[in-house]
Structure 1
Amino acid sequence: MTFTDILREENDDVFQKIFSHPFVQGIGKGDVPKEALAHYIKADYEYLNAFMHIYGAAISKSGSREDIQYFNNQIDFVLNSEIHPHNNFCKHIGASYEELQGYPLPPTADHYVKHMMYHAHMGGLGEITGALLPCPWTYLEIGKELVKLYKPTVNHPFYHWITFYANEQVEETTLQMRKRLDDLASKASEKELEQMKIAFRKSCQLELAFWEMAYTCEEWPVRDYVKV
């Protein structure tokens, strides 16, 4: 088994909870509360902005042009491709993408971003990649699971969201990141491997928590700081 095969096996409990989460299943059924969709888009837009900064941190620790090109390509994917599933949700709730941008991160999303930033600044490329990988990997498997369970047609309200994450581009992105993590793991010390596993596990857990955050429209218990 490869290192990422082991990670997937060790974290199957979290993957299964993600698949069965009411928000995820609601996407498959075509029935998610509009306020939950709006909350998801607001948080995910800012989360993906932070995700690109983590890729930037990975670039700063890259020792080859090949690595720099790889992470630069991932930034391009987030900037120019992941707007499509967001737009699917926006169209469904009758809101423009622009009006759902610029909101403060809810507590769970804020924690997720800071978790990734911690590993980006404190760890090496393996640790950073371990923290990043659960995002594309869980979404790929969500897309495939929903296609298998619900067989959506073009008339399905979330057809474009589901098929985007089940497509070959997301699968290739995930496989490339897995291969890079496997390569890094093959040269890592036991301590580094443990840190990679910790980073991956926490990101999986926070992916699950992100769905719950969006579904419950989680907010800070007291109004968050607003710059005057």
Structure 2
Amino acid sequence: MAFDFNQLQQACQGEWDAYIQHDFVQQLGNGTLAEDAFRHYLKQDYLFLIQFGRAFALAAYKSPTLDDLRQAKAGLEAIIGLELGLHVEYCRQWGISEAELQALPEARATLAYTRYVLDTGNRGDLLDLHVALAPCLVGYGRIAQWLNSRSETVRGEQNPYDPWITMYESEAFQAATAAEVEWLNRELADVSPRRFEQLVRIFRDATRLEIDFWDMGLNQRM
């Protein structure tokens, strides 16, 4: 039996739905999310991106093939060379300076999630690392799709968070999401049932930590 990403998701459907349809996401789509909650999320997401970059550096080290190494290099360059700069500019539009971002402490949810990903990658192989990253890599693209499927979602200038939705529904981000699912499908097709169950545990734990990250933003926890 060949496994794929859909089966990975279905094995954790309850956690996945709680993540994709979280109150933070719903309020963001409705345009009702408290601005201080969104700012808190943006600040911690900056710190998350730095650790995400480290995860791609680890992926490069773990890469068994040249194609995998190139993929990791492209991911690292996209985050450190491009996405962090865009994030800093977006934060500036919300009144958050780069100096403030650089001085931030990590919230407990940020620490727990990012270190889990790095620890999983260190202990396991490249597939373990990708599965731990998948709730973020794939999830944000799926969140944008889910928001667009809801009649309650407010688009345009009436919603201050519309640019966030636009970013993750973009052709470039959706293509990156599809490429990650394609890579996971290729790698999962060759695993044994026992190995698949190990990967399900990683995916479930990482998804639960994504839920905690939304909770952190919604409740402005440190």
What interval of TM-score do these two structures reach, taking the shorter chain for normalisation? 0.7 to 0.9
Aligned-partner Cα distance in 2 for 1:148–1:202: 27
* Counterpart position of 1:122: 123
* Counterpart position of 1:158: 161
Residue by residue, what CA displacement relative to the aligned partner does 1:15-74 show, whole Å, maximum 9, x if unpaired? 322243222112112232222122212211111111111111111111222111111111
The percentage of aligned residue pairs carrying the same residue is: 24
* Gap change, CA 1:38 and 1:100, over 3 Å in 2: farther
* Counterpart position of 1:109: 110
Contact 1:61 1:125 in 2 (8 A): yes
* Counterpart position of 1:181: 184
* Counterpart position of 2:27: 26
* Gap change, CA 1:34 and 1:97, over 3 Å in 2: farther
Alpha-carbon deviation of 1:218? 1.2
Aligned-partner Cα distance in 2 for 1:14–1:83: 31
Opposite residue 107 of structure 1, the aligned amino acid is R
**Cα RMSD (Å):** 2.1
1:1-228 matches, cutoff 5 A: 2-79=3-80, 80-81=82-83, 83-84=85-86, 87-88=89-90, 90-91=92-93, 93-149=94-150, 150=153, 152-154=155-157, 156-219=159-222
Query: What SS does structure 2 have at the residue aligned with 1:213?
Result: helix
Number of residue pairs the alignment of both structures matches: 218
Aligned-partner Cα distance in 1 for 2:134–2:88: 20
Alpha-carbon deviation of 1:162? 0.2
Residue by residue, what CA displacement relative to the aligned partner does 1:150-196 show, whole Å, maximum 9, x if unpaired? 25125531222101111222222122222222222233344432222
Alpha-carbon deviation of 1:207? 0.9
Contact 1:108 1:213 in 2 (8 A): yes
* Gap change, CA 1:26 and 1:100, over 3 Å in 2: farther
* Gap change, CA 1:105 and 1:36, over 3 Å in 2: same
Aligned-partner Cα distance in 2 for 1:6–1:130: 13
Aligned-partner Cα distance in 1 for 2:149–2:69: 36
Query: What SS does structure 2 have at the residue aligned with 1:103?
Result: coil
Query: What SS does structure 1 have at the residue aligned with 2:138?
Result: helix
Aligned-partner Cα distance in 2 for 1:85–1:160: 12
* Counterpart position of 1:223: none
Opposite residue 23 of structure 2, the aligned amino acid is P
Aligned-partner Cα distance in 1 for 2:24–2:54: 27
Unaligned runs of 5+ in 2: none
Contact 1:37 1:89 in 2 (8 A): no
* Gap change, CA 1:9 and 1:82, over 3 Å in 2: farther
Residue by residue, what CA displacement relative to the aligned partner does 1:90-110 show, whole Å, maximum 9, x if unpaired? 52x433344233312111111
Unaligned runs of 5+ in 1: 220-228
Aligned-partner Cα distance in 2 for 1:72–1:61: 12
